[in-house]
Structure 1
Amino acid sequence: MQAHALFDDDEARKAILDLRQKFETYRQSTDAVLSRLGNELRESGVASQRSLLELSNQNEQLRAEVARLRGQNEQLAREVSELQRQQKDVQAGVDARLRQVEPVRVSLDGVDFSATPEEKREFDTSMDLLRKSDFGAARAAFAAFLRRFPGSGYIPSALYWLGNSQYANREYKEAIESHRRLSMQFPTHARTPEALLAMANSQTEIKDSKAAQRTLETLVKGYPQSEAAAAGRERLARMR
């Protein structure tokens, strides 16, 4: 029994040593596996960190590029806006210059014609002076208009009002000449009968009654239906 017990102790001791050996081997194997896994995890973490850093750098670069492109876009938008403004200014300037020279339609004393804005402006200025009874300035303005625009559609009306301005300034001979020129050059104009009546008035002022009578007869004969002719008949009756 003692021998058997000793054998059992040896077997048990051997079994324990075997278990210890196996455990140590397993532990070493496990430690190796854990160590390898730890290294892999650390390497993976470093790689992940590196990847994250690269992604972060790329993201910053993209943000910088987006900011640069946004700045360029805003600059281009400002330049386009400035170009559009300049284009509008240029177009407005062109339109203004065209309006200064582009003919306009005028209807005056029953006649329709085209005139430049400058013609219209100067004629209207002359008429304004006449309406203000500034006869000296009006006479000078109408005379200047006739010299400057000899082919204007305003000529008949300008001659009529020039003659009236001269009459108001007691320049009767000059008034006669202006009204005669109107009646000779524009016999069908609406102002011609009135011009003949005014011419007769000027002739009366210079005591040329025979010339005044002939002018009134021309008026009555040539324009019998006009209001000026009616006034001319009354004067002729008084002269006879």
Structure 2
Amino acid sequence: MMRPAPWIALLAALLSWPAHAGLFDDAEARKEIMRIRDDHTARLDALESSSRASLQLANQIEAIKAEMAKLRGDVELMMHDMESVKKRQQDFYVDLDARLRTLETGGAGPAAQIDPAAESRDYENALNLLKAGKYAEAATAFDTFVTTYAGSSFLPSAHFWAGSAALQAKDIARATQHFNTVVNQWPQDARAPDALLGVANCQRAMGERRLEQNTLKAVISQYPDSAAAKSAKQRLGS
């Protein structure tokens, strides 16, 4: 049997080598392509997940903003309602006071030196200024009234309303003086409990919290069945 020439074997080896090398390169390339594809897929998944999280966060932020806007609106509405209630309550007490004083003057004649018509007119004018929210003017009008009509049966109420008007006008010293006048000179008057509560309000406005608490306790002890005592208990948390 004849053995093939050496050059034939060498040629066969050379011809077969590129085929094996090509197969090896294709496998590596496919692996690299798959690796790159998997890497890009992972990155896309991470990006999509991050985008969804960002979108959810943005939605949550918008929801919180909307809720805060609603709460601000609710608070503003409540503040408006409180001011309206406060104004209606003040108007009610002013009207009630005027009616009570009219009955009082009708049942008992005023002192000789007082002109009843002028007295009622000036008192009503001062009340109207208070109802209109002209607090500084109302306080001045009541000051004039208590000076002009020193013997008037309206004096306890006039001092009380003068104190209320002065407190609203931020004239705390003036308000305190009028409230104390009611408490000291007419402790049994219907206005006395509210006047003492007014003193506590003045102390609160001045930042004198300890004095305010003592005065609130005095309201409760001196006028236990009054509406002012109920308010004082609420403020003391008892």
Of the two, which has the highest radius of gyration?
Answer: 1
**Counterpart Cα distance in 1 of 2:133 and 2:217:** 31
Secondary structure of the equivalent of 1:224? coil
Number of the residue aligned with 2:109? 114
Number of the residue aligned with 1:210? 210
Unpaired runs of 5+ in structure 2?
1-98, 111-115
Unpaired runs of 5+ in structure 1?
1-105
The Cα offsets for residues 55-86 of structure 1, whole Å up to 9 and x where unpaired, read as xxxxxxxxxxxxxxxxxxxxxxxxxxxxxxxx
Secondary structure of the equivalent of 2:100? strand
Number of the residue aligned with 1:175? 175
The alpha carbon displacement at 1:236 in A equals 1.8
Number of the residue aligned with 1:28? none
* TM-score of the two chains, using structure 2 as the length reference: 0.53
The Cα offsets for residues 146-189 of structure 1, whole Å up to 9 and x where unpaired, read as 11111110100000000001001001121111101101100111
Secondary structure of the equivalent of 1:114? coil
Number of the residue aligned with 2:196? 196
**Counterpart Cα distance in 1 of 2:128 and 2:194:** 20
- 4+ long deviations beyond 4 Å: 109-113
**Counterpart Cα distance in 2 of 1:171 and 1:109:** 29
* TM-score of the two chains, using structure 1 as the length reference: 0.52
% same residue: 28
Number of the residue aligned with 2:7? none
**Counterpart Cα distance in 2 of 1:111 and 1:221:** 29
Number of the residue aligned with 2:142? 142
**Counterpart Cα distance in 1 of 2:209 and 2:184:** 21
**Counterpart Cα distance in 1 of 2:199 and 2:104:** 22
Number of the residue aligned with 1:233? 233
Q: Which structure has the highest strand share of the two?
A: 1
Secondary structure of the equivalent of 2:109? strand
**Counterpart Cα distance in 2 of 1:194 and 1:110:** 21
Alignment of 1:52-91 (within 5 A): none
